[in-house]
Amino acid sequence: MKRFLLLPLFALMLVVQSKESSDWPYHGLTLSEQRYSTLKLITDANVGRLGLAWHYKLDVDRGTEATPIVVDGVMYTTGAFSIVYALDARTGKLIWKYDPQVPRLFASRACCDAVNRGVAVLDGRVFVGTLDGYLVALSAKTGKVEWKVDTIIDRSRAYTITGAPRIAAGRIVIGNGGAEFGVRGYVTAYEATTGKQAWRFFTVPGDPSKPFESPVLAQAAKTWTGEWWKYGGGGTVWDSMAYDPQTNLLFIGVGNGSPWVRKYRSPDGGDNLFLSSIVALKANTGEYVWHYQTTPGDSWDFTATQHMILADIVFSGRERRVIMQAPKNGFFYVLDRVTGELLSAEKYVATSWATRVDMKTGRPVESPDADYFKEPKLTLPSPYGGHNWQPMAYHPGTQLVYIPAQELAFPMITDPKFKMTSPLLWNTGIAVAGLPEDKQTEAAVLAQTGGRLIAWDPVEGRAVWNVQEDHPFNGGVLATAGNLVFQGRAEGKLVAYSADKGTQLWEAPSQTGIIAPPMTYAISGEQYVTVMAGWGGALGLVGGTIANAAGVRSISRVLTFKLDAKEVLPPAPAQPSLPELAEMTEPAATIDRGRAVFHQYCSACHGATAVGGGVIADLRYLNARQRNVFVETVQNGIAATGMPSFANLISAEDIAAIRAYINKRAHDAKGK
């Protein structure tokens, strides 16, 4: 009897294995999120023959961050405003498209562009979290909506979804964004077939005069002071999760505090659990199991939402089931994922806020430069992180983790007059100063700003090799059994390196900055490498100076490569030139006033120092007609593009001062 059962089972396992090795079924390829493909039709020996096989133009040119899913020859991917595309993975031909018609104003409720990091696919359904906060199940065959649920608990707050849904214990799990504006974080699991809510876990405690939603929140509340819940508290789970079927644990990466400055949200201190923490939950109930807080009492936007990888590695002579993360704060953590025990915490980039992590207490040892409340401090890493959401990869052969890291400093300055003006605007408690506007200082800042692809030995806690990159905010990483590591670059190319040594072996131009991670699949004996190209995201909006240095703008496409393919991209549109400028007649005091107001309200989207990031309008390029209606435009907003109304926030006089400042910056650009 047993023999009869075993044979078909064995055959089934073979089918499953071969299927899994040629598809890309989950966000991180496997549930362990290693982003390591066993495919080796493309290797370090033949990667030089890789060429463009096909390209597909997306509807909206904005930040493009998705990892496509490939199942049975069909690619499911997303672009800006959560538009879903089903493409023939061999040819790039559109099979169906689903546009959730996200109101464009939600772009202004998202800190970091109208991005989406992709779908989940399970049993003939495609799941997408939309920027306006819905979780939608689509038929994988037709793209028709099967069910749609509202994941947002309070629509008066700036909740959004940009992350990819994850599959855990057969359910669909999704969190949200919004901690820059002032929200309370949580994750929710839904039944895949019906969309019925299975459980919800809040990451920070709410108003303590009301019952806590779970027993662990009563404990967490003891680490908060003041009236944090009025600000939301933060702790959004906006990107990373990983699921371990062996232990049935779901790991969630929890984000920063609302507002950023702890003194404002929790005035008498405290660790503020579970901000900036990795939290392990029972996947079937959402019950708390353990947590590790990477940045107690976070005041720097040091989220622990960055990519988490599960692996089984030998650590100090013992086989350990680990979880690994390089959160924004600059330390690379290795934890035992069953118990939460800290195994390693070493700097992967320079850190000014902490010197080291004490392995006995598991806590960072903060340096005097950590406290910027009394006086401004230039902080490393910046709120953009030593590493942001761009996924890493773990290669079981080299036993290295490849980290798309970056180096840029940020002046942390508290806003002494902070109050929550509107829950739909940025409320970080930080005064945004922008960058220096003289060319010498700007050049000096840029010289110290860059990216680094790091091959990290998680056991030794050190880098084995580094690739220095001119610009920060490069793409996520893919590792393959062909001894290859692929990464896209901010300045507009996809690059392949050898996984063991970091030697560059191949590159292809993309006409736009790549921030998304590449992925790979095989059909009929051919291996394909795909990346979503399209500059944008956090640094794409605010970091105009950096984007201009890299010479990028947003042209959003799916790019797919295979050996000996010869397709070419259509010519890129010409860079715009400055229009005829208005004379600078306003006094210096007006321009200075405009500079201050611009950085308070406008720079997060239109770029620090009014240098656009190549994604949305660069205001220096306004023509005479646009300048004439500038005050009315800022007061009314432009619903079609996502520009909100500032009528109740900025006076007409101050808007005119912003225009004077922008005009000055346009003249600065002309002088270059």
Kindly list the catalytic residues.
Answer: 301
* Distance in angstroms (rounded) separating the CA atoms of residues 614 and 599: 18
User: At its nearest, how many Å lie between Ca ion and the CB of residue 197?
Assistant: 26
Question: Helix H segments across 487-638?
Answer: 537-542, 544-550, 588-601, 603-606, 624-628, 630-636
Q: What token pair was written down for 509? A: 């131009």
Prior bond to 587 cis, omega within 30?
A: no
Amino acid at 610: A
Prior bond to 274 cis, omega within 30?
A: yes
Q: What token pair was written down for 355? A: 């010197």
User: At its nearest, how many Å lie between Ca ion and the CB of residue 329?
Assistant: 12
Q: What token pair was written down for 611? A: 């240098």
Task: Choose between 301 and 469: whose C-beta lies nearer to Ca ion.
Answer: 301
* Distance in angstroms (rounded) separating the CA atoms of residues 301 and 298: 7
407 strand-pairing partners? 450
279 strand-pairing partners? 252, 291
User: At its nearest, how many Å lie between Ca ion and the CB of residue 235?
Assistant: 10
Task: Choose between 149 and 430: whose C-beta lies nearer to Ca ion.
Answer: 430
* Distance in angstroms (rounded) separating the CA atoms of residues 354 and 335: 19
**Residue 483 — left, alpha, or beta (φ > 0 → left; ψ -120 to 50 → alpha)?**
left
Task: Choose between 256 and 379: whose C-beta lies nearer to Ca ion.
Answer: 256
User: At its nearest, how many Å lie between Ca ion and the CB of residue 279?
Assistant: 17
Report the chain's C-alpha Rg in angstroms. 24
Task: Choose between 256 and 530: whose C-beta lies nearer to Ca ion.
Answer: 256
User: At its nearest, how many Å lie between Ca ion and the CB of residue 239?
Assistant: 10
500 close to 398: Cβ distance less than 8 angstroms: yes
Spell out where 316-443 has E strands.
Answer: 318-325, 331-336, 342-347, 354-357, 364-366, 377-379, 393-395, 400-407, 410-412
User: At its nearest, how many Å lie between Ca ion and the CB of residue 180?
Assistant: 5
361 close to 301: Cβ distance less than 8 angstroms: no
DSSP summary character for residue 638 = B
User: At its nearest, how many Å lie between Ca ion and the CB of residue 338?
Assistant: 29
Q: How do 145-150 and 134-139 pair as beta strands?
A: antiparallel
26 close to 35: Cβ distance less than 8 angstroms: no
User: At its nearest, how many Å lie between Ca ion and the CB of residue 236?
Assistant: 8
- Angle at which helix 588-601 crosses helix 652-670, to 10 degrees, equals 100
CB atoms within 10 A of CB 649: 17
Task: Choose between 387 and 664: whose C-beta lies nearer to Ca ion.
Answer: 387
User: At its nearest, how many Å lie between Ca ion and the CB of residue 571?
Assistant: 37
- Contact residues toward Ca ion (CB under 5 A) are 256, 301
Return the half-sphere exposure (C-beta side, CA atoms, 13 A cut-off) of residue 347: 13
* Distance in angstroms (rounded) separating the CA atoms of residues 150 and 157: 14
* Distance in angstroms (rounded) separating the CA atoms of residues 275 and 298: 7
Q: What token pair was written down for 155? A: 């629509």
Prior bond to 381 cis, omega within 30?
A: yes
